[in-house]
Structure 1
Amino acid sequence: MSTLVWISGASAGIGAALAAAVPFVGPRVVDISRSGGTAEHLRADLANPADWGRVARHFGDELAAYDGERVVFVHNAGTITPIGPAAGVDPDAYERAVLLNSAAPQVLGAAFLRASAHLTCERHLIMLSSGAAKTAYAGWSSYNAGKAAVEHWVRTVGQEQPADGCRIIAVAPGVVDTAMQSEIRATSESDFPSVGRFHELERTGALSTPESAAAGIWSLLSRDLPNGSCVDLRNL
């Protein structure tokens, strides 16, 4: 039996680690990103609404006659850029961040649910969240709001699923040593007042690796979590 997995943003960081550690035999793994991170790549700029329809059509085409064991979509793509007060950052960068962090997860998540609704196989939708969904950090307004939106979308759509429907969860992986963390630490205190905390996490070795985060995320598929759960790997 086969497994089809889509991972958005699998070109680096947690996404790349997820793609390398898919816990099923002989999976077909498709990276949805601008630059490509797996052998099979669907090129898309997920901050550009013009590309969302193309991703939705791809889901539909691939799943119309799918007869495998399971399908999985992990929405991992997101951005911390721009960091700084909402009124002071570049407006074009801010708009892209809002589209990628808030709108794209909902639009693409709904597209996956529509495309897979007729299937009777195992179906999973995993949305990457963050502790920022619950803690407001000055300088991260689009990121904070985007992750909060992801979690509430997951709670809501999880309630909509029938007993044999798609299993939907949001997961905060903790503070992971990725390029995003390097960008955060390079930010001035005037743009991000909490930057010192992230320097301290690096100094004390408190950052987890993308590989450990990926292992934790994949382990959730074997847990009996209520549909629509929002979990933090640090609390499991």
Structure 2
Amino acid sequence: MSSLVWISGASAGIGAALAASVPYADARVIDVSRSGGSAEHFKADLSDPADWARVEAHFREELAGYDGERVVFIHNAGTITPIGPAAEADREDYTRAVLLNSAAPQILGRAFLAATAPLTCERHLVMLSSGAAKTAYAGWSSYNAGKAAVEHWVRTVGAEQGPGGCRVIAVAPGVVDTAMQSEIRATSAENFPTVGRFHELKNTGALSTPAAAATGIWSLLTRNLPNGTCVDLRNL
């Protein structure tokens, strides 16, 4: 085994497509999620701070004495729920979204950086972002804020990496035809005023597929992008 790959949220959608298309023939692929998919599964609820500590311990255990060619962590897990005005959101749902979208990427990203710091092999940390990091969609406050936090964290941590350090990037995959998109289209205009745009994207065939998004994301690992880059696949 010369490659060890972790993908969070690999049980469905883009995460599952990433796990199915890992470009390293001899890679060991681990899905970090609640439900699990086709890859090896490390069960964790990434909206639960107690499970963050478990994931960190898992990273350290798996990487102790690691002598392979590369290690990769793609943090894909996130949620659009709840959609609607922040003042009207259920407190528990909103708290879970903030923990999953804003806090978990930073905590798990730090854990991966710390666990891989002693290694001299190729190291990649990829955070999934969104156009919502830059566009304030009414009804998506926790999601918008979470993706904006991810991108600025990536810029900052990327600047901290010295020569031979971990390569840290964020990628917005575009509008991809996943269960999240179905949830968005099922939302009322009262809770999400821009919902019509997403119906139009679906009706005109403008949505990307999870497989295409995964191919684009994997291609970034071979591009000479500066550390801390935040990129949108639609602009490549």
1:115 aligned residue: 115
Q: Which residue identity lines up with residue 133 of structure 1 in the other structure?
A: A
Kindly indicate whether residue 13 of structure 2 is the aligned counterpart of residue 19 of structure 1: no
Q: Which string of whole-angstrom CA distances, capped at 9 and with x for unpartnered residues, describes residues 97-138 of structure 1?
A: 000000000000000000000000000000000000000000
CA distance in 2 between partners of 1:225 and 1:206 (Å): 27
2:100 aligned residue: 100
List, as ranges, runs of 4+ consecutive aligned residues in structure 1 with deviation greater than 6 Å.
none
> How many equivalent pairs are there?
236
Work out whether residues 172 and 233 of structure 1, in 8 Å CA contact, stay in contact via their aligned partners in 2.
yes
Q: Which string of whole-angstrom CA distances, capped at 9 and with x for unpartnered residues, describes residues 189-227 of structure 1?
A: 000000000000001100000000000000001100000
TM-align CA RMSD:
0.6
Displacement of 1:39 in angstroms is: 3.5
**Long gaps (5+) in structure 2:** none
Q: Which residue identity lines up with residue 186 of structure 2 in the other structure?
A: A
**What TM-score results when the alignment is normalised by the length of structure 1?**
0.99
Q: How does 1:186-201 map to 2 (within 5 A)?
A: 186-201=186-201
Secondary structure of 1:81 counterpart: coil
Kindly indicate whether residue 72 of structure 2 is the aligned counterpart of residue 76 of structure 1: no
Q: Which residue identity lines up with residue 107 of structure 2 in the other structure?
A: V
1:162 aligned residue: 162
Secondary structure of 1:164 counterpart: coil
Displacement of 1:2 in angstroms is: 1.1
Work out whether residues 188 and 195 of structure 1, in 8 Å CA contact, stay in contact via their aligned partners in 2.
yes
Work out whether residues 30 and 38 of structure 1, in 8 Å CA contact, stay in contact via their aligned partners in 2.
no
Work out whether residues 19 and 39 of structure 2, in 8 Å CA contact, stay in contact via their aligned partners in 1.
no
1:2 aligned residue: 2
Q: Which string of whole-angstrom CA distances, capped at 9 and with x for unpartnered residues, describes residues 63-87 of structure 1?
A: 1110000000000000000000000
Work out whether residues 2 and 70 of structure 1, in 8 Å CA contact, stay in contact via their aligned partners in 2.
yes
Q: Which string of whole-angstrom CA distances, capped at 9 and with x for unpartnered residues, describes residues 163-192 of structure 1?
A: 100000000000000000000000000000
2:176 aligned residue: 176
Counting aligned pairs with the same residue, the percent is: 79
2:57 aligned residue: 57
1:202 aligned residue: 202
Secondary structure of 1:225 counterpart: coil
Displacement of 1:38 in angstroms is: 2.9
1:216 aligned residue: 216
